Amino acid sequence: MTDSPLKLPLREQYAALRSGKLTATTLAETSLEAHRIRGQHDHAYMTWNGEAALAHARATDQVIRQGGDTGALMGIPVSLKDLFAVPGLPTYAGSSRRLPPQWEQAGPLVRALLAQLPSVMGKTHTVEFAFGGLGTNAHWGAPRNPWDLENHRIPGGSSSGAGVSLVGGTASLAFGTDTAGSVRIPASMTGVAGLKTTAGRWPGKQIVPLSPTLDTPGLLAQRVDDLAFAFDALDGALTGRDDRVPAPPTLADLTLGVPSAFFWDDCSPGIAESVERAIRQLEAAGARLVTLDLPNTDEAYRLFLEGGVAAAELSAFLKTDLPEAITALDPNVAARVEAVDDMPAWEYVRRRALIDKLYGMAEREIAGVDAMLTPTVAITPPTVESLLSVEAYARANMQALRNTMIANFMGLCGLTLPVGNDSAGMPVGLQVMAGPRQEARLLAIGQSIEQRLGTGISILGEPPAP
């Protein structure tokens, strides 16, 4: 589907819509056709909104023909993770039951998006209440990672349908959330780019919460440049700041930190090799590499293994707002929610204080470089069948989240972009992290890296057709 107009850079779609070379109707129709061909196989969407989106696209074209322009994302096909409250579409948050009507009232982020008149193609699958990094769901099943036709491999979670919607050609831009890696993991595992914003930069109101402390809305797209385009389209309306992505810097002007340990541990065959090869290409292009091991990385990971604060905060939300959902939880989610029932208040306060401490230490340390480079995910996407036992699921879940959770527990922003394939032929991601609220500069650095290494489409090609 390389010739699909949905795979064109967002800047090209933007220009073609306004010049009349492309219409919102054509984009929506192409999405519907892709869903007809791949939808049943890919299983990306919890709620498909294709026909309504097509009608909306036709109306959008009328506005464009009359000279109207509602924003950079006008007419662009988008998907949203089924945590975002979207008027007219049900919200399940991956649970077995439709959430109350209040979760169909748009919050600030969705309002800012809808004001630009994109074509909302539907709401994508998520792990139940976003509590997992693999993408499985006992109620609705897991989307298929499109890079393996023979085996049902996980797509990464918790934004499990987001990357699949992009690779499958039904969306040009996908919205997800990231609490410990839930944007970057599915982006990495499906071979697209993903942005995790700093906690608190973009409002989380009317996005079903997992952990108000750590939750961050984020974006997935075919390339880093698309993330930069979409970031500029939304950030000003959400923050009131004029913090646009600057021109990409020259690689020779960048100092990039590379850790000597932790992030490289227990990588599946081909992952470390692909990332190391990409880093060597950046060095050959002039980037200065220095060793950077963030202090207290092991302490942050121990806190994560203990459950961090997400289980306690999700438990509080469920017991306060959705008590009827507790008895029907996915067993992999229920086990971690139940485990915090006996947590004393002082322990939760201790964990929150430790996260605040980690934030400060990481900000000071990472300020010495322009960005930090690591593998995004250390493991090949496992098959759904291999995760049936509780023990196997728990082990793989921790492995998948290991590298990405550091940015969340240390208050950093981060992105991932594809840099090759592992030994199983699955996509490999390079994680790029920067200090808090440095998204604009981070995206510019990501653009420079992408210009040197190539985009996911140029590196990986197309996944096999079902």
Q: Which residues are catalytic?
A: 81, 158, 182
Terminal Cα distance for the chain, rounded = 12
Strands 77-81 and 173-178: parallel
Residue 88 CB-density burial (10 A; 0-12 exposed, 13-18 middle, 19+ buried): exposed
d(C-alpha 187, C-alpha 203), whole Å: 22
Question: Which two tokens mark 355?
Answer: 């996260």
385 DSSP assignment: G
Phi, psi of 236 (to 5 degrees): -60, -40
d(C-alpha 418, C-alpha 433), whole Å: 15
Strands of 288-291's sheet, edge to edge? 45-48, 119-124, 77-81, 173-178, 216-221, 193-196, 413-421, 427-434, 371-375, 255-258, 288-291
Q: What is the dihedral of CA 44, 46, 51, 53, to 10 degrees?
A: -80
Phi, psi of 366 (to 5 degrees): -75, -10
Contact 208, 405 (CB under 8 A): no
d(C-alpha 460, C-alpha 187), whole Å: 13
Strands 255-258 and 45-48: unpaired
Task: List, as one string, the DSSP characters of 69-92.
Answer: ---TTTT-EEEEETTB--TTS---
- Taking residue 241's Cβ as centre, other Cβ atoms within 10 Å add up to 11
- Taking residue 226's Cβ as centre, other Cβ atoms within 10 Å add up to 25
